[in-house]
Amino acid sequence: MSPLASLETGLFLGLYALLAGIWGVLWALAQLRLMPIVAGSAVAACVLHVLAAVTIVLWTPLGFGWKCLIVGSSLAFLVIPPITWRLLRRTHDNERSEHDRQPSQHSRRLVVRL
Amino acid sequence: MYRAQTLALKYFAAAITFFGVMAITGLLSSYYYINPDFLFGILPFNIMKILHINTLVIWLLMGFMGSIYWFLPGELGRETVGIRAAEVLFYVFCAAVAVVAVVFIFVQYGGSNEAVLWLINQGRKYVEAPRWAALGIVVVMVVFAYNVIGTAIAARKTTGIITVLMIDLIPLILLYLIAFPAISNMSADLFWWWWLVHLWVEATWEVLIGCIMALALMQLLGTPRRIVEAWLYIEVALVLGTGILGLGHHYFWIGTPGYWLAIGGFFSALEPLPLLGMVVHAVYDAGAQHMKTTNRPALHWMMAEAFGNFIGAGVWGFMITLPQVNLYAHGTQWTVSHGHFAFWGAYACGIISVLYLVLQRTRNLAVVQGQLWKWSFAALNLGLVGMTGALLVSGFVQAFVERAIGGSTLEAFISGQENAWFVDGMVARFLLAIVFTAGYVVLVWDLVTLGRRAPAIAAVSPAQ
């Protein structure tokens, strides 16, 4: 790897991860605030992240295995926010409904007798 | 208030004091890069750096211990077992740290013999404390573990968070035993030394702060325990799953077999994934509460913890974690930049959040308010992010000029150090370190005067 390529690769990797984070935050915010501009920004961040991934795959001198890792990570980055959100909502909804149904048993579940 | 919670307050006071020592020694360390003659013949750079890094470890450790001592009685509904020993050891711990610091400053170094290892410096990076002090830390940690586990047994109950904590304390203690050097082969020594450094920071400490944040979340936002515990299990599993073998990124260039390049690179590259989940979780929690809370400083610091962890550990780490880039980047200011950001995001912000939470209870504040915390929050984060940015620029120059082009020769090293971008980066780092230190001063002032300068506010129930 040439000196410049190593520096560029490092920067692209950082940008790649940063855009994944921005995508995650904006996506989550878009669920909270139903504003088109937030949802649009999330999509833009997602597209930029994918572009960063494509750039790393096509333009950096990383080996084939590492490029596969980048693609795989990208897929994971893209699905983590929706999956996390769904799990969070489900857990909160379950907790709320069970709490409403059986308040007296609520605390019993919390501790495990030794 | 339980005696353990009184002890927690002492630990917090000690932690914030050592935080200050860390900030000042860090500020002075950064000045050596601008003026290499600074304190020439009086206090060399390496001693200042030792003080900076060791106080970082100590203040975070004390912050963790204070947090656990604070939450434990409420969690298990009784006084902590062995609290008398813990109280005595707190003073021993503080005195030992002070003595070690004095020895570092005034004695500094000794000959190549066993006595120096015992009395002055063990010579191992990040755990330089002499052997007697290292033994003392082991005793403190063993008693701490006894406090937690003994209390759970005496209470005849545990919770999911306390169970995770108890399991975590065992490797936390065992890994510290590696701090005692016994191997003369440098590669073998480094191999095991990284178990201590990496697995403390990216495994056991991650679990510890996960437990503390879980306990804090329940108190701060009233998040139901079942949710907090479920997410603690998921996040701990993911963090450990990627973090343990992520250890391999330290094995790239220390004489270990080549397969560590693949193992370390692969698992390290996965490390940002759970951190993204944590960020989404933080946004969810904040959104569910509409950012409404009685303790805005604690909430903001908790949010900073989630974001800082992702950016500092995840993004900054991802830049340099693949072997091809790491070949040039390791050991440069680029790595230093990552280290600063990751420690700040992953741990420091979390501890500060707990400090505000605890003060709200101890000072019976229905609402924590004021302007000072905003100034300290802004100055500390601006200073830290600015420092990491400046270090990043200097690190690029080192990786490019000194390593990649120059081939790591002495001439290339000097060429890198004299490069205008490197010099400017170090000057910017120093200036932003001043901003950070100013933020620290405001933080301390806010913590000390919180609730005392504001108008009287209705009291809340005493600490649980």
More confident: B156 or B457: B156
Interface test with B, best of A80, A105, A108, A109 (most B CBs within 10 A): A80
Contact A10 B276 (CB under 8 A): no
- Give the integer Cα–Cα distance in Å for B318 and B311: 9
Residue in chain A lying closest to B403 (CA): A3
Task: Give the 3-state DSSP-derived string for B385-413, with helices as H, strands as E and coil as C.
Answer: HHHHHHHHHHHHHHHHHHHHHCCCCHHHH
Interface test with B, best of A29, A66, A78, A113 (most B CBs within 10 A): A66
Q: How far apart are the first and last CA of chain A?
A: 58
Query: Quick one: tokens of B122?
Result: 């063990």
For residue B237, the distance in angstroms to the closest alpha carbon of chain A comes to: 15
Q: Over the Cα atoms of chain A, what is R_g? A: 20
Distances (CA, A) of A76 to B268, B274, B307: 15, 10, 19
CB atoms within 10 A of CB B43: 18
Domain boundary assignment for chain A? 3-97
For residue B416, the distance in angstroms to the closest alpha carbon of chain A comes to: 14
Q: For position B58, what pLDDT does the model report? A: 96
- Give the integer Cα–Cα distance in Å for B258 and B296: 49
Q: Which amino acid is at B240?
A: L
Q: For position A92, what pLDDT does the model report? A: 81
User: Domains of chain B by range and CATH?
Assistant: 1-182 (1.20.210.10)
Identify the band that residue A106 occupies on the pLDDT scale cut at 50, 70 and 90: very low
Tell me which residue of B282, B284, B286, B280 sits closest to A80, measured CA to CA. B280
Residue in chain B lying closest to A9 (CA): B325
Tens digit of each residue's pLDDT (9 = 90 or more) over B145-173: 999 999 999 999 999 999 999 999 999 99
Tell me which residue of B336, B339, B261, B350 sits closest to B297, measured CA to CA. B350
Q: Does B460 touch chain A (CB under 8 A)?
A: no
CB contact at 8 A, B251 and B191:
yes
Query: Which residues in chain B (263-322) have CB-CB distances under 8 A to chain A?
Result: 265-266, 269-270, 272-273, 276-277, 279-281, 283-284, 287-288, 307, 310-311, 314-316, 318-322
Per-residue pLDDT, averaged over B275-288, amounts to: 88
Percent of residues in chain B assigned helix, strand, coil, to nearest 5: 80, 0, 20
Instruction: Please report residues of B whose CB lies closer than 8 A to that of A9.
Output: 322, 324-325
Q: Which amino acid is at B97?
A: V
Q: For position A114, what pLDDT does the model report? A: 41
Q: For position B425, what pLDDT does the model report? A: 98
Tens digit of each residue's pLDDT (9 = 90 or more) over B18-35: 999 999 999 999 999 999
Q: For position B49, what pLDDT does the model report? A: 96
The answer, yes or no, to whether residue A48 has pLDDT greater than 90, is yes
Query: Quick one: tokens of A86?
Result: 């769904």
Q: For position B223, what pLDDT does the model report? A: 83
Question: 């229905």: which residue's tokens?
Answer: B366
Sign of CA dihedral B288, B289, B295, B301: positive
Instruction: Please report residues of A whose CB lies closer than 8 A to that of B265.
Output: 66, 69
Burial class (CB in 10 A: 0-12, 13-18, 19+), B63: buried
A51 Rama sector, left if φ>0, alpha if ψ -120 to 50, beta otherwise: alpha
- Give the integer Cα–Cα distance in Å for B272 and A13: 12
Tens digit of each residue's pLDDT (9 = 90 or more) over B49-67: 999 999 999 999 999 999 9
The answer, yes or no, to whether residue B327 has pLDDT greater than 90, is yes
Which percentage of chain B shows pLDDT scores above 90? Answer: 81
Strand partners, B295: B368
Tens digit of each residue's pLDDT (9 = 90 or more) over B232-254: 898 788 878 888 898 999 999 99
Query: Which residues in chain B (70-129) have CB-CB distances under 8 A to chain A?
Result: none
Q: For position B290, what pLDDT does the model report? A: 72
For residue A8, the distance in angstroms to the closest alpha carbon of chain B comes to: 9
* Helix ranges restricted to H, B200-308: 205-221, 225-246, 259-270, 272-288, 296-308
Instruction: Please report residues of A whose CB lies closer than 8 A to that of B235.
Output: none
Query: Quick one: tokens of B155?
Result: 């209470």
Q: What is the mean pLDDT of chain B?
A: 92
Strand partners, A112: B158
- Give the list of residues 6+ apart from residue A103 with CB closer than 8 angstroms, or none: none
Residue in chain A lying closest to B288 (CA): A32
Strand partners, A111: B159
Q: For position B183, what pLDDT does the model report? A: 84
Q: Over the Cα atoms of chain B, what is R_g? A: 22
Nearest to A76 among B273, B311, B404 (CB): B273
Residue in chain A lying closest to B330 (CA): A10
The answer, yes or no, to whether residue B459 has pLDDT greater than 60, is no
Q: For position A108, what pLDDT does the model report? A: 42
The answer, yes or no, to whether residue B333 has pLDDT greater than 60, is yes
Question: 């500020």: which residue's tokens?
Answer: B27
Per-residue pLDDT, averaged over B281-286, amounts to: 87
Query: Quick one: tokens of B82?
Result: 């062995």
Contact A77 B276 (CB under 8 A): yes
Nearest to B226 among A77, A84, A95 (CB): A95
Nearest to A80 among B277, B287, B315 (CB): B277
Question: 């200097």: which residue's tokens?
Answer: B394
- Give the integer Cα–Cα distance in Å for B229 and B225: 6
Q: Could you give phi then psi for residue A110, rounded to 5 degrees?
A: -75, -30
Q: What is the mean pLDDT of chain A?
A: 86
Q: For position A73, what pLDDT does the model report? A: 96
Tell me which residue of B304, B141, B153 sits closest to B208, measured CA to CA. B141
The answer, yes or no, to whether residue B460 has pLDDT greater than 80, is no
Least confident of A53-57, B223-227, B353-357, B405-409: B223-227
Per-residue pLDDT, averaged over B184-189, amounts to: 90
CB contact at 8 A, A85 and A28:
yes
Contact B405 A3 (CB under 8 A): yes
Instruction: Please report residues of A whose CB lies closer than 8 A to that of B316.
Output: 14
Identify the band that residue B458 occupies on the pLDDT scale cut at 50, 70 and 90: very low
Least confident of B216-225, B351-360, B450-459: B450-459
* Helix ranges restricted to H, B35-130: 45-76, 83-106, 114-119
Residue in chain B lying closest to A82 (CA): B280
The pTM score is 0.92
The answer, yes or no, to whether residue B207 has pLDDT greater than 90, is yes
Q: For position A84, what pLDDT does the model report? A: 92
Query: Which residues in chain B (364-403) have CB-CB distances under 8 A to chain A?
Result: 396, 399-400
Tell me which residue of B253, B293, B218, B260 sits closest to B408, measured CA to CA. B253
Contact A85 B230 (CB under 8 A): no
Report the SS3 class of residue B151: helix
Report the SS3 class of residue B223: coil
Contact B320 A11 (CB under 8 A): no
Tens digit of each residue's pLDDT (9 = 90 or more) over A64-74: 999 999 999 99
Residue B310 DSSP symbol: I
Least confident of A88-92, B228-232, B289-293, B371-375: B289-293
Tell me which residue of B371, B377, B338 sits closest to B450, measured CA to CA. B371
CB contact at 8 A, B399 and B328:
yes
Identify the band that residue B455 occupies on the pLDDT scale cut at 50, 70 and 90: low
